[in-house]
Structure 1
Amino acid sequence: MANIDNTKIVIVATDGFEQVELTTPQKKLAEAGATVHVATPDGSDIKGWDKDHWGDVTKADLKIEDIDVAAYDAMVLPGGQINPDVLRADASVVQKVKDFAATDKPLAAVCHAPWLLIEADLVRGKRLTSFKSIRTDLKNAGAEAVDEEVAQAGNLITSRNPGDLDAFCNAIVDAVSSNRDRAAA
């Protein structure tokens, strides 16, 4: 895995995120050298969902509305059914995702989180993946939906489920590293 020292990554989530889809990227991206912040709707700590029951509480670092998109090198959207469904109904969150996407920096979504990409109208004409139950949603929004561990389309990085998290995290690190190398050239 590449080293991404001196980079900042924000994870956007609310209660009901799939536990490992937040904690695994948080850990692996930090191990690669990034400073990782968790942003929530009101800046309060959030509770995960662990397969079939409520999971652990994750500390929040800031409110989603306070994310300075220019200050972050990547944005990560964990899945679960509850988390992205709640977030996509919040127009200010959807706008923040759109604003981040406009920077062309890596925007990564796993499992059900591509719902946020759909709501932000970012998927049309893109080759993306997701949890199997929302692939029709991707197709209906104009994406080419594939069943692959990781699918990348421009700055968008998507994965299917917790079993893909190693590949998902590696793709984020590689994309952040490539962006940094391009910026330094």
Structure 2
Amino acid sequence: MKSLVFLADGFEECEALVTVDLLRRAGITVDMVSINDQLMVHGSHGVQIKADLLLKDADISAYDVVILPGGKVGTANLDKCDAVKKAVLAHYNAGKLTCAICAAPSVLGHLGILKDKYYTCFPSFHDESYGGKFMMVPAVADGNVVTGRGMSASLEFAREILKKLIGDKELAKVEYGVQYYR
């Protein structure tokens, strides 16, 4: 099982890293992929992350999961990157798990991926033109799409992704390891 997290300058650090952390705890390979021309990516709160590889060197078709963290600036950078949009749409159309949190579900909305889907996002990024059913909840899974509302929902977002990838017993081990509670 391989997953990819797109990192663009201005990404929301917790949304990316909490998700990476929980997936890796579950034994899932996660590559952080910079959409820039360099591995260093600047988060929305001044945290710099060194990605694992550059977008130009990534074979997106080899991944089972793609994840788009939010952040207003990071999302705008993802949304104006044609290579990211092309890859995300191809990934989704192949029936693979496609995930976005906070502002980033707007990228999915612009691509038509949210049509007839239940989804969530940062409320000001919801738009009726997406054609889906917006829900004011921390995270939503609908078919091969998982969305999260914002930074404080990062754990729930990652859990929804894991629910699609691993069994209940494995999920319980990850939850115990981070002392998850309801």
TM value normalised by structure 2: 0.85
SS at match of 2:166: helix
> 2:136 — aligned with what?
147
Residue pair 2:44, 2:74 contacting (<8 A) in 1 also = no
Counterpart residue type for residue 88 of structure 1: D
Q: Which of 21-30 and 40-49 deviates more?
A: 40-49
Report the CA distance shift for 1:66/1:103 in structure 2 as closer, same or farther (over 3 A).
farther
Residue pair 1:73, 1:176 contacting (<8 A) in 2 also = no
> 2:120 — aligned with what?
129
SS at match of 2:20: helix
Q: How many residues align?
A: 166
Residue identity over aligned pairs, in percent, reads: 28
Quote how far apart the aligned CAs of 1:43 are: 4.6
Task: List runs of 5+ in structure 1 lacking aligned partners.
Answer: 1-6, 179-185
Matches within 5 A, 1:53-132: 54=46, 56-132=47-123
Question: Is residue 35 of structure 1 aligned with residue 29 of structure 2?
Answer: yes
Residue pair 1:85, 1:115 contacting (<8 A) in 2 also = no
> 1:13 — aligned with what?
7
**Aligned mates of 2:149, 2:33 — CA distance in 1:** 22
SS at match of 2:8: coil
SS at match of 2:67: strand
CA RMSD of aligned residues (A): 1.5
Measured against aligned partners, the alpha-carbon deviations of 1:111-151 in whole angstroms (never above 9, x if no partner) come to 0011210222211111111001111x2x2221111111111
Measured against aligned partners, the alpha-carbon deviations of 1:139-171 in whole angstroms (never above 9, x if no partner) come to 222111111111122100001012211211111
Counterpart residue type for residue 43 of structure 2: G
Task: List runs of 5+ in structure 2 lacking aligned partners.
Answer: 168-182
